[in-house]
Chains A and B, each alone.
Chain A
Amino acid sequence: MDSDDRIPLSERPEWSDVTPLPQDDGPNPIVAIAYKEDFAEVMNYFRAVYRADERSPRSLDLTAEAIAMNPGNYTVWHFRRLILEALNVNLHDELNFLDDIAESNTKNYQIWHHRRWVAQKLGTDASRKEIEFTKNILSLDSKNYHAWSHRQWVLQALGGWEDELDYCHELLEEDVFNNSAWNQRYFVITRSPLLGGLKAMRESEVSYTVEAILAHPENESSWRYLRGLYSGDTHSWITAPQVSSVCLKVLSGKRNFVFALSTLMNLLCHGFQPSQELRDAVDALRTPDDSPTDPDLANTVCLILERVDPIRVNYWLWKKSKLPQ
C-alpha cells in the first residue's frame, strides 16, 4: 500500500475505541529499528487487539495491513489463524489473499506455513490449485526450496501425483542441471502410490539417468541420482552392468571425468571388482608425472583425482589413506 494515500488508523472511525499499545522496547534498546510512522502505528494497534484477543473482522483486516508491511511477523500470522477459525472465514478467500502477496515473498517461511495450514483445512479440493500454484512459483525460480517443500506436502497430504513424473521430466528437459527437479524425481519414484517404488522403477530410471550422464558427464546431479537409485542395495550397486559401463564410457572419453572417477572410487570402496577394460581406461588418464602403476586401482584413482580435482586434494588424500594397504 502506498503510504501517501493510506488513512492512519487514528483517523478511521471504526478504530476510535481502541487505544494503541506501544512496543515495550525499554528506555534505550539495542538493535532499535527507526520505524516509519505508519508501520509503528499499525503495530501499535495490532498489539492492542492481540492483547485483548479481539478476534473480529477489523482485527483480520489489520493483520493484513501488518503482514503487508512485514510478512515475517509470525505472531501476526498466528493471530490471523485464530481469527480465521473464530470467524469461520471462507478459506478460498484466504488463498486468494496469499496469492496476492506470494510472488514478492517467495522465500518467506511464514507465508508458506500459512498456506499449508489453509490447504490442509480445505482438504483434497485444494490439491489441484496448490499444484498449479507451486508450478507458477517454480516457473519463476525452479529451485525455490519452500515451493518444492509445499508441493511435496500437497502431494502426500492431498494427492495429485498423476502428472508429477512428467513434470519432473519437463523441468529436466529445460535444465538438466536443476538438482531440485532431480530430487523431486527421486521423491516421486520412491513415494508415489501410483508407481511401484524404487525397485520397480530402477531399471527404467537407470536408463534415463545414464542418458542424462552421457549427455553431460560434468553434471553432478545425475550421478548422485544414479547412486540414489541403488540406495540401501550395495550388492546391486556394485554389480549393475549399467553403472560400470557408464563409468567406462565417460572415462574413455577423457573429458569431464571427475564424477565418473569419484563414482568408481565409491564402487571400489564397496567391493566392486573392476574389469581390465576399466583398469586400462583409468590407466590412460595418468600423466607421465604420476607415480608408476599401482596394482590397487583405488590408489590410482585417488592419485588422478588429487591432480584433476585439486580443491578436494585433502579429501582424496584422506580417502587414499583409508584404503586397505
Chain B
Amino acid sequence: MEAQVSKKLTLTQQCQRMVEYEVARIYDFFLRAPRSAQEFMLELQRESHIEYLTNGLNHLGPSFRVLDANRPWICYWILHSIALLGDSVDAELETRAIDFLNRCQDPDGGYGGGPGQLPHLATTYAAVNSLVTLGSHIALSSINRHKLYTFLLKTKQPSGGFRMHDQGEIDVRACYTAISVASILNILDDELVQNVGNYILSCQTFEGGIAGEPGSEAHGGYTFCGLATMILINEVHRLDLRSLVEWVVFRQAGLECGFQGRTNKLVDGCYSFWQGGVCSLLQRLSLDIDEQSVQPDAQEVGSSFDGLSTGAGTSQKVNFNDIGYEFIKKRPSSQPLFNSLALQQYILLCAQVPEGGLRDKPGKPKDYYHTCYCLSGLSLCQYSMSMEDSPPVPRAVTGPYSNLLEPIHPLYNVVFERSIEALDFFRGK
C-alpha cells in the first residue's frame, strides 16, 4: 500500500480521483441526509426541466452562434426531452417547428443545420426525429422522402460508409444517421445497405467496442451507432458480440455509477444513453449472444436473428423496414446487463441540476445535449426490466414512481409510441 501511495499519480489517475472525490462527496451527503431531503434529491425536477427546455425553443442567447449549423439538433434535443417527460408542445409551437424544419430541408433532399445550409446526415437525422416526435400527419408529411432517398444515395460511398455531406467526413455516425432515417421512413433498401456491414465491422476494435473510423479507439457514441446500424441492416451477428458485451459492461464506473465513453476516461452523463443503449440493445440480443459463445471465433455466423430472417447465410430476402418493428417485440432477458439502479442514482444525484437541465458531471454546466441524453438514458434504465408497452415495476424506478419517463425505441431514440406511429404511417407509403 505504501509503495502505491508514494508513486506519482499519472494524469489519468489524478483526473479520475478528482471525479471520484466529487461524486463520493455527493453520495455521502445524500446518505447522511434526512429521509425527506433524500426523497427530494432523488426526485426528477420535471417542472424545472420543462421550463429550461421550453425557454430554449423560444429563445437562445448569442453564445449559441457556435451551434448555428446544428439547429435541428437543438430542436431534437429539446422536443425529445419534452416528450420523454410526458409533455408536448402546444399547436402553435408545433406549427412553428414544422415550418422552421421545412426551411432547413434542401430542395434536393435532406436537412441542413439551418435554412439555406447544405444538407447534412446528422441534421437530417435530428430533423426527422424531431418531426417523428411531433408526430402529427402534417409533421410527418412535411418530409420529402423521395428526395431524401436521393440525398442518402449521394452520400453513400463504395466502401460501404457514408459521407456526412457533399465532400464531408466518412464515419460510423454517418452510417447510423443515414440508416436510422431510412429505416423509420420506410426507404431502406439493398442499395443503401450494400457494404455498410463491412464498414462497421472494420471499425470494431480489439477492445470489443466500435470506433468512429477503422483503427481508432473504441468509443461509446460510435459503438451505439455501429451496433444500432448492424441491427437495422440485419447483420448484427457479424460483430463479435461477446467481446462487445465484455467491453461495454466495464464502461460503468464502480464508484461513480455512471458510464464512461472509453476505457480509462471519466464518466459523463450522456453515455447513460450511448452505453446504456448498447447494453439495452444487447440485452435483447442476449439469446443470440449465447449462440455465438458456443462457437468461438465464428465471425460470420449464419445463425438466425430469430423471427426476422431465416439466416444471414441464405439468400432469403429480409424486409429491412420491418426490423424496427420486430426488434422491440423481442422480450429482453429479465435483468439488464448493466446496473440500472446505480446509473439512475448517478443521473439523478450527479447529472441533474435541480434548477432545470442535466449535465455531464458535477462542476459542468447543463446543456440541451446532455439533458436529452441523460433523460434518454434514464428512460432506458426505468424500462430495462420490462417491455416498452407495459409499465415497469416500482423497484425498477429510482426515486418516486412519478420519476417515470416515457419509454423510447432503443434503435432510433424517439419516444416509443411516436416511433410506432411513424413506422405505421410510413409503412402505408
> In the assembled complex, how far is the CB of residue A104 from the closest CB belonging to chain B, in whole angstroms?
11
Could you tell me the dominant secondary structure of chain A's interface residues? helix
Residues of B within 8 A of A266 (CB): 246
- Contact between chains at A31 and B71 (CB < 8 Å): yes
Which residues of chain B (256-273) have a CB below 8 Å from chain A? 257, 262-265
Count A-B pairs with CB separation below 8 Å.
207
Indicate if the CB atoms of B59 and A32 lie closer than 8 Å.
Answer: yes
The complex places the Cα of A186 from the Cα of B64 at a distance, in Å, of 39
Q: Which of B100, B164, B337 contacts A315 (CB 8 A)?
A: B337
B198 at the interface (CB under 8 A from A): no
Check B337–A73 contact: CB distance below 8 A.
Answer: no
Q: Pick the contact of B96: A30, A47, A187 (CB < 8 A).
A: A30
The reply on B250 being an interface residue by CB < 8 A is yes
Question: Known contacts A31-B75, A177-B13, A186-B206: does B250 contact A312 (CB below 8 Å)?
Answer: yes
A224 near B206 (CB under 8 angstroms)? yes
Which stretch, A158-166, A225-233, A281-289, touches the partner chain B? A225-233
A32-B59, A109-B169, A221-B264 given; A78·B118 CB < 8 A: yes
Q: Which residue of B lies closest to A39 (CB)?
A: B65
Residue of A nearest to B75 (CB): A31
Q: Which residues of B contact A113 (CB under 8 A)?
A: 168-169
Q: Is the CB of B339 within 8 A of A312?
A: yes
Among the listed stretches A12-20, A52-60, A123-131, A141-149, which one makes contact with chain B, having 4 or more residues with CB under 8 Å of it?
A141-149
Cβ contact within 8 Å between B262 and A179: yes
Q: Given the complex, which residues of A lie within 8 Å of B208, measured CB to CB? A: 224
Within 8 A of A (CB), among B14-60: 56-60
Q: What is the total number of residues of chain A having a CB less than 8 Å from a CB of chain B?
A: 74
A215 to chain B, nearest CB (A): 9
Q: Taking the complex as formed, is A33 at the interface, i.e. its CB lies under 8 A from any CB of chain B?
A: yes
Which of the residues A28, A33, A227 comes within 8 Å of B68, measured between beta carbons?
Answer: A33
Interface string of A89-119 (1 = CB under 8 A from B): 0000000000000000000010011001100
- B10 vs chain A, min Cβ distance (A): 4
Also in contact, A75 and B117, with CB within 8 A (given A35-B62, A179-B265): yes
In the complex, are the beta carbons of B65 and A35 less than 8 A apart?
yes
Tell whether, in the assembled complex, residue A30 and residue B216 are in contact, meaning their CB atoms are under 8 Å apart: no
Give A311 to B258 CA distance when docked, in angstroms.
Answer: 10
| A311 contacts B257, C-beta separation under 8 Å | yes
Contact A72 B100 (CB under 8 A): no
Q: Does B355 interact with chain A (Cβ within 8 Å)?
A: no
Chain A residues near B338: list those with CB within 8 A: 312, 314-315
Query: In the complex the two chains form, is A234's CB within 8 Å of B96's CB?
Result: no
- On whether the beta carbons of B60 and A31 are closer than 8 Å, the reply is yes
The answer, among B13, B70, B246, for a CB contact under 8 Å with A72, is B70
State the CA gap A117–B262 with chains docked (Å).
Answer: 27
Contact B69 A73 (CB under 8 A): yes
Assuming A31-B57, A179-B217, A314-B339, is B114 touching A23 (CB within 8 A)? yes
| A24 and B116 in contact, given A179-B217, A224-B206 (Cβ under 8 angstroms) | yes
Q: Mark B270-312, 1 if CB is under 8 A from A, else 0.
A: 0000000000000000100010010011000000000000000
B106-133 vs A, Cβ < 8 Å mask (1 yes, 0 no)? 0000001111111010000000000000
Contact across chains for B337 and A318 when beta carbons are under 8 A apart: yes
A145 CB contact (under 8 Å) in B114, B219, B336: B219
A81 on the B face (CB < 8 A) = yes
A30 and B100 contacting across the interface, CB-CB below 8 Å: yes
Q: Is B335 an interface residue (CB 8 A)?
A: yes
Closest to B74 in A: A31
| B370 → A minimal CB distance (Å) | 15
* A69 on interface, CB distance cutoff 8 Å: yes
Mark each residue of chain A from 224 to 258: 1 if its CB lies under 8 Å from any CB of chain B, else 0. 11011001101000000000000000000000000
CB distance from A228 to the nearest CB of B (A): 3
Q: B335 contacts A70, CB within 8 Å?
A: no
With an 8 A cutoff between CB atoms, is B11 at the interface?
yes
Q: Is the CB of A29 within 8 A of B100?
A: yes
> For B335, what are the chain A residues with a Cβ–Cβ distance below 8 Å?
314, 317-318
**CA of A143 to CA of B166, assembled, Å:** 29
Verify A24–B115 contact, CB threshold 8 A: yes
Contact of B217 among A34, A75, A81, A145 (CB under 8 A): A145
Q: Given A72-B70, A145-B216, A318-B333 in contact, is the A30-B58 Cβ separation under 8 Å?
A: yes
Residues in A whose Cβ lies below 8 Å from that of B113: 73-75
CB distance from A28 to the nearest CB of B (A): 5
Cross-chain contact A175 with B68 (CB below 8 angstroms): no
Instruction: Indicate with 1 or 0, residue by residue over B334-370, a CB within 8 angstroms of chain A CB atoms.
Output: 0111110010000000000000000000000000000
Q: How many angstroms from the CA of A298 to the CA of B61 in the assembled complex? A: 57
CA distance A221 to B57 in the complex (A): 42
Whether the Cβ atoms of B60 and A32 lie closer than 8 Å is yes
B165 close to chain A: CB less than 8 A = yes
- Closest-CB distance, B45 to chain A (whole angstroms): 23
8 contacts between A and B (CB under 8 A): A23-B116, A32-B60, A70-B69, A149-B213, A178-B11, A314-B336, A317-B335, A322-B290
| A-B interface, 3 closest residue pairs, ranked by CB to CB distance from nearest | A228-B206, A177-B12, A175-B10
Q: Spell out B's residues near A (CB within 8 Å).
A: 10-13, 56-62, 64-71, 74-75, 78, 93, 96-97, 99-100, 103, 112-118, 120, 164-169, 205-208, 212-213, 215-219, 245-247, 249-250, 252-254, 257, 262-265, 286, 290, 293, 296-297, 333, 335-339, 342
In addition to A33-B60, A74-B69, 11 A-B residue pairs with Cβ atoms within 8 Å of each other are A24-B115, A26-B99, A30-B57, A31-B71, A71-B66, A176-B10, A179-B265, A183-B216, A220-B250, A311-B339, A312-B252
